[in-house]
Amino acid sequence: MSHKILLLPGDGIGPDIVAEAHKVLNALADSHGFAFDAETALIGGAATDAHGDPLPESTTRLAKDADAILFGAIGGPKWEQIERDLRPERGLLRIRSELELFANLRPALLFPELADASSLKPELVAGLDILILRELTGGIYFGSPREKLADRAYNTMPYSVAEVERIARRGFELARVRGKRLCSVDKANVLEVSELWRETVTALAGDYPDVELSHMYVDNAAMQLVRAPKQFDVLVTGNLFGDILSDIAAMLTGSIGMLPSASLNAQGRGLYEPVHGSAPDIAGKGIANPLATILSAAMMLRYSLGEGALADVVEQAVRQVLADGLRTADIAGGGQAVSTTEMGDAVANKVRAAAN
């Protein structure tokens, strides 16, 4: 069976890093018999420039037909002053909504070779392996009414019981196959929507007696991620809080350029992307780190394409190039400095070598 993969490079460094992940997928095809067909489409600022729409209908059609989507990055100063609905970020929000990609998995895994690159002391982050599960299609980013007036503005942060149950069950299921600990993060001492969130998650706990459930306010969770991050296993939270907490967790690993993510719907189809942004100031300069995108491709193999063994091959290849001392600029520190394409080549070569 051949898998249908849609590539959405996007803006800034997006084309640079997606090209390297595509290279690694081709290496799997050459050496491990991975069968796939890839198509490329526009999203974000590139789509606005070409079609006047950050998510053209042609891209949506291809996305709905694909088994999985590999996405790069969107946005940049070029589009910051245009009409809000035409800005690149609206394209990403819309595709998440169109495909009902409600579950955003953001692992924060520290590779031992990068312990010195973390902003925290090595003893605090050594062996770090946590997963932040962010609800992605509800909350304040999608709430209505919303309005910006001359002297004030407001947004609405809605969640239904069904939306909370859906993401919480995914959290319990993920915790069940990891460390069996789930921390639900909210602001129930201030927000009514968080009261509903906490009540709903608590009501589900009886269905998962093997998982230890705890609750934490988001401000404390942010502090604890910096103070003692290894206390966590899986954190489940809403859209806004998850956006912030996952970026905090990113810096614990040494570089945001190392973190992949998956956004899944109820059927397990999904969009895979690095956590970092489009970094237009370094686009095309050959210094972007492609490893988060390559690791996102590994998540794609595991979660949407049913190719867990091949995902292991890719992840091991990344570990090997880091162990060999190869470093892009963002994780430099005594290792061998390499370019974006050189890092992609190195991972692809390790993938091919694994077949021998």
Catalytic annotation, residues:
141, 187, 219, 243, 247
CA atoms within 13 A on the CB side of 317: 30
- Angstrom distance (rounded) from CA 274 to CA 213: 28
Rg value, the chain, Cα: 20
263 DSSP β-pair partners: 104, 271
- Angstrom distance (rounded) from CA 259 to CA 342: 19
User: What are 123's two structure tokens?
Assistant: 């003893």
- Tell me the torsion sign for CA atoms 277, 106, 292, 328: positive
- Tell me the torsion sign for CA atoms 238, 241, 247, 252: negative
- Residue 163 · residue 138 · CB < 8 Å: yes
- Angstrom distance (rounded) from CA 242 to CA 235: 9
User: What are 347's two structure tokens?
Assistant: 């991972």
- Angstrom distance (rounded) from CA 244 to CA 251: 12
Q: What are phi and psi of 18, to 5 degrees?
A: -65, -35
- Angstrom distance (rounded) from CA 356 to CA 354: 6
Q: Assign 3-state DSSP to the chain and report helix, strand, coil percentages, each to 5.
A: 50, 20, 30
Neighbours of 83 (CB within 10 A): 9
Q: In 3D, which of 18, 34, 37 has the Cα closest to residue 271?
A: 18
E-strand ranges in 173-243 read 181-186, 212-217, 234-237
Q: What is the DSSP letter of 106?
A: E
Q: Exposed, middle or buried: residue 210 (CB in 10 Å: 0-12, 13-18, 19+)?
A: exposed
